[in-house]
Structure 1
Amino acid sequence: MNLAARYEIIDAHKFPRSGAFVFSPNHYSEIDPVVMGVVAWKLGRLPRFLAKASVFKIPVIGWVLTKSGQIPVQRGGSVRGSEPVKAAQRLVEKGQIVVVYPEGSLTRDPDLWPMRGKTGAVRIALEQGIPIVPAAHWGTQHLMERYSKKISLFPRKTIRVKIGDPLDLSQFRGRSLDTATLNEATAVVMVAITALLEDLRGEQAPTERWNPSEHNQKETGRFEA
């Protein structure tokens, strides 16, 4: 990865060097986890990721994921499952970090802006009483385009990363973690990530965030939960 890309990390001092927290970047390339894993490693922390449970069944790879502390999540499930909750508790006890992409999958936005987020990141942060640190990166699409399986190694790419301030979610602590609360807190996270990406790109994001559910409804004319 160091041969394939150089990393320009802005505001690296905002990245906590100790203690448990949720690290939440934007997501638009299949190689994002590797890129942000390298960034976390360069900043002195060993990252843990939420990963699809099916990947853990692959010989050798599954063993490596398990031994390195990665967290399995059932496809179509959520962090409310017993294993993710237990894993999050272990992370807090050991002062480790977990990387959670609030969008849940690659953004569907045509211009790669962050789309509407899901609630997994804030649920972990609020249930475990740990902060969320937002981040944005830009340039990864030149290493691997969205939905592509091909990595472009040459020429060497430049990936710019900006770390945000740990988010203050105190207004949500003590409240019932119902859908409304989690969605409200997730919106705060997505606004922070988008602002960081605007700085990196030198552009302004669309005023209306891409909502996959609404887009599918418009295309198919049917309700999609």
Structure 2
Amino acid sequence: MDGQQGQRLVFGVMAGIARPLMNLLMAKTWMGFEKLPAGGFIACPNHVTEIDPVVVGHAFYNYGRLPRYLAKESLFKVPVIGKALRASRQIPVTRSSSSANRSLAVAREVLDAGDVIIIYPEGTLTRDPDEWPMRGRTGAARLALQTGAPVVPIAHWGAQEVLPRYGKSLRIFPRKRVRVLVGAPVDLSDLRGQPMTRTVLNEATTRIMDALTDGVAELRGETPPTTRWDPNEHGQAATGRLSIDEKPASDDQEGTR
């Protein structure tokens, strides 16, 4: 069995466990997946609940694409989880420069193989009180400019009704509907080949977040805020779970909306 067959076997086992549960918990509407690039690309979803990766991964797997996530290197050291992550070729990341270079090399191989790398450009659950996409981080833009891979915004809405942001339990009844919308690849053509300055990275990130926000607005049927939420301007940590004092105004202590 070659590496690709082995990875598909691992994905098949994980899907066999996750898909029945997802089908039980939620109805699904997936839109625009026929427009996905034929080769490798970077998918950028919005982030509203801890079950987002399963929701988005389910949609991609159902359309025959194997999703890879950037995962904290520490997770690869957990006995069972680490083995599954390595077998399905998820990508470990750390903040050290040498490890970052290894992560980039793996990412290039995944993209060259025609697979999907999923990066949450916000870096963590949105801090926006109304759950709009907040300020983006530059990781997705950097990888796109380094590799030349297309960036596709993946907007979704409804998963937060199953597990609210910072929630501790699933809301099973009534059955919820989750919608996932594939947007057009973000045009970064004029930025490719330029020196990777902070200005270039910020511009690429802004374009990614604009496209993603437009998709979320279409799903919600609402107009997004004119200014994206910036945790730094509101005394919030940029990454990780928020403390009770830091939580957005719409989140109570039990994590409900």
Give your verdict on TM over 0.5: yes
Q: Distance in 2 between matches of 1:168 and 1:3?
A: 38
Answer yes or no: is the 8 Å Cα contact 2:111–2:117 preserved in 1.
no
Question: Does 2:101 align with 1:72?
Answer: no
Amino acid at match of 2:193: G
Q: What's 1:29 paired with? A: 49
Distance 2:29 2:206 in 1: 27
What is aligned with 1:9? Answer: 30
How far does residue 53 in structure 1 lie from its aligned partner after superposition? 1.4
Which structure exhibits the higher relative contact order, with contacts defined as CA atoms closer than 8 Å and separated by 6 or more residues? Answer: 1
DSSP 3-state at the match of 2:23:
coil
Is 2:161 the counterpart of 1:107? no
Question: How far is 1:48 from its partner?
Answer: 0.3
Gaps of 5+ in 2: 1-21, 237-244, 247-257
Residue 186 of structure 1: aligned partner: 205
Q: Distance in 2 between matches of 1:209 and 1:12?
A: 27
Kindly indicate whether residue 103 of structure 2 is the aligned counterpart of residue 84 of structure 1. Answer: yes
Q: Does structure 1 retain, via aligned residues, the 8 Å contact 2:93–2:99? A: no
Write the letter of the residue equivalent to 1:143.
Answer: V
Kindly state the Cα deviation for residue 78 of structure 1 after the two structures are TM-superposed.
8.6
Residue pair 1:79, 1:124 contacting (<8 A) in 2 also: no
Alpha-carbon shift at residue 93 of structure 1 (Å): 2.4
Residues 20, 91 of structure 1: 8 Å contact kept: yes
Q: Matched residues in 1 for 2:97 and 2:91: separation?
A: 12
Query: Shift of the alpha carbon at 1:6?
Result: 1.6
- C-alpha change, 1:141 and 1:30, in structure 2 (3 Å) is same
C-alpha separation between the residues in 1 aligned to 2:97 and 2:72? 10
For 1:79 and 1:6, locate their aligned partners in 2 and report how far apart those are by CA, in whole Å: 43
What secondary structure does 2:136 align onto? coil
Partner Cα separation in structure 2 for residue 80 and residue 195 of structure 1: 34
Map 1:143-162 → 2, pairs under 5 A:
143-162=162-181
Q: Which residue of 2 aligns with 1:174?
A: 193
Q: 1:74-110: CA deviations, max 9, x gaps? A: 2x66998122211111112211110000000000000
- Of 206-215 and 83-92, more deviation after overlay is shown by 83-92
TM-score (norm 1): 0.91
Match of 1:131 in 2: 150
Q: Percent identity, aligned pairs only?
A: 49
> Do residues 41 (structure 1) and 65 (structure 2) align?
no
Letter of the structure 2 residue corresponding to residue 14 of structure 1: K
The offset of 1:152, in angstroms, is: 2.5
Q: What is the TM-score normalised by the length of structure 2?
A: 0.80
TM-fit CA distance, 1:12: 2.4
After superposition, the Cα gap between the structure-2 partners of 1:57 and 1:80, relative to the gap in structure 1 and judged at 3 Å, is closer
SS at match of 2:152: strand
> Structure 2 counterpart of 1:155, which letter?
P
